[in-house]
Amino acid sequence: MSFAPRIDAALHAALRQGQAAPAPAKLAAALEHAVTPGGARIRPTILLSIAAACGDPSPRLADAAAVALELMHCASLVHDDLPCFDDADVRRGKPTVHRAYSEPIAVLTGDSLIMLAFETLARAAGEDPARAVALISVLAKRSGMPGGICAGQGWESEREVDLSAYHAAKTGALFMAATEMGAIAAGQDGPQWIELGARIGEAFQVADDLRDALYDEETLGKPVGQDDLHGRPNAVSELGVEGAIQRMRDILGGAIASIPKCPGEGMLAAMVTAQAEVLTPIKWRAAQRIAGE
Amino acid sequence: MSFAPRIDAALHAALRQGQAAPAPAKLAAALEHAVTPGGARIRPTILLSIAAACGDPSPRLADAAAVALELMHCASLVHDDLPCFDDADVRRGKPTVHRAYSEPIAVLTGDSLIMLAFETLARAAGEDPARAVALISVLAKRSGMPGGICAGQGWESEREVDLSAYHAAKTGALFMAATEMGAIAAGQDGPQWIELGARIGEAFQVADDLRDALYDEETLGKPVGQDDLHGRPNAVSELGVEGAIQRMRDILGGAIASIPKCPGEGMLAAMVTAQAEVLTPIKWRAAQRIAGE
Q: Which structural domains are found in chain B, ordered by start? A: 4-292 (1.10.600.10)
Which has more pLDDT, A113 or A204? A113
Contact check, Cβ <8 Å, A154/B27: yes
Cα–Cα distance for residue pair A133/A141, rounded to 1 Å:
12
pLDDT exceeds cutoff 70 at B251: yes
Q: Which residue of B has its CA nearest to A142?
A: B115
Instruction: Judge contact between A121 and A68, C-beta under 8 A.
Output: yes
- Residues 6 or more apart from A76 whose CB is under 8 A from it? A110, A143, A149, A153, A174
Each residue of B176-234: pLDDT tens digit? 999 999 999 999 999 999 999 999 999 988 888 888 777 766 666 666 666 666 666 67
Nearest-CA distance B132 → chain A (Å):
7
At residue B292, the pLDDT reads: 44
Instruction: Judge contact between A93 and A213, C-beta under 8 A.
Output: no
Contact check, Cβ <8 Å, A107/B114: no
At residue B38, the pLDDT reads: 84
Which has more pLDDT, B41 or B285? B41
This complex has an ipTM of 0.92
Q: Say what the alpha-carbon torsion angle A112, B93, B85, B234 is, to the nearest 10 degrees.
A: 100
Q: Could you tell me how many CB contacts below 8 A there are between chain A and chain B?
A: 207
Burial B53-80, CB ≥16 within 10 A → b, else e: bbebebeebbbbbbbbbbbbbbbbbbbb
For B114, which of A111, A121, A153 is closest by C-beta distance? A111
At residue A230, the pLDDT reads: 64
Which residues in chain A touch residue B103, judged by CB atoms under 8 angstroms apart?
Answer: 84
Instruction: Name which of B78, B55, B30 is nearest B264 in CA terms.
Output: B55
Q: What is the mean pLDDT of residues B262-275?
A: 91
Which residues in chain A touch residue B68, judged by CB atoms under 8 angstroms apart?
Answer: none
pLDDT exceeds cutoff 60 at A289: no
Cα–Cα distance for residue pair B92/B39, rounded to 1 Å:
7
Q: What is the band of A292 on the pLDDT scale with cuts at 50, 70, 90?
A: very low
At residue A284, the pLDDT reads: 64
At residue B110, the pLDDT reads: 98
For B21, which of A119, A129, A146 is closest by C-beta distance? A146
Helix axes A194-214, A42-53, angle to 10 degrees: 150
Each residue of A9-32: pLDDT tens digit? 999 999 998 777 899 999 999 999
Contact check, Cβ <8 Å, B144/A25: no
Cα–Cα distance for residue pair B90/B78, rounded to 1 Å:
11
**Residues of A (176-235) whose Cβ lies below 8 Å from B:** none
Q: Which residue of A has its CA nearest to B80?
A: A104
| A interface test, pick of B133, B142, B158 with most A CB neighbours within 10 Å | B133
At residue A20, the pLDDT reads: 74
Cα–Cα distance for residue pair B164/B175, rounded to 1 Å:
15
Q: What is the mean pLDDT of residues A256-272?
A: 94
Instruction: Name which of A179, A122, A172, A123 is nearest A151 in CA terms.
Output: A172
**Residues of B (21-40) whose Cβ lies below 8 Å from A:** 21-28, 31
At residue A9, the pLDDT reads: 94
Burial A121-149, CB ≥16 within 10 A → b, else e: bbbbbeebbebbbbbbbbbbbbbbbbbbb
Length of chain B: 293
pLDDT exceeds cutoff 60 at B290: no
At residue A255, the pLDDT reads: 96
Cα–Cα distance for residue pair B200/A34, rounded to 1 Å:
35
Contact check, Cβ <8 Å, B146/A19: yes
Contact check, Cβ <8 Å, A107/B84: yes
Kindly report the CA angle at B234 between B231 and B240, in degrees rounded to 5? 130
Instruction: Name which of A114, A105, A28 is nearest B162 in CA terms.
Output: A28
Cα–Cα distance for residue pair A124/B49, rounded to 1 Å:
30
- The SS3 call for residue A164 is helix
Residue B196: CB atoms within 10 Å: 27
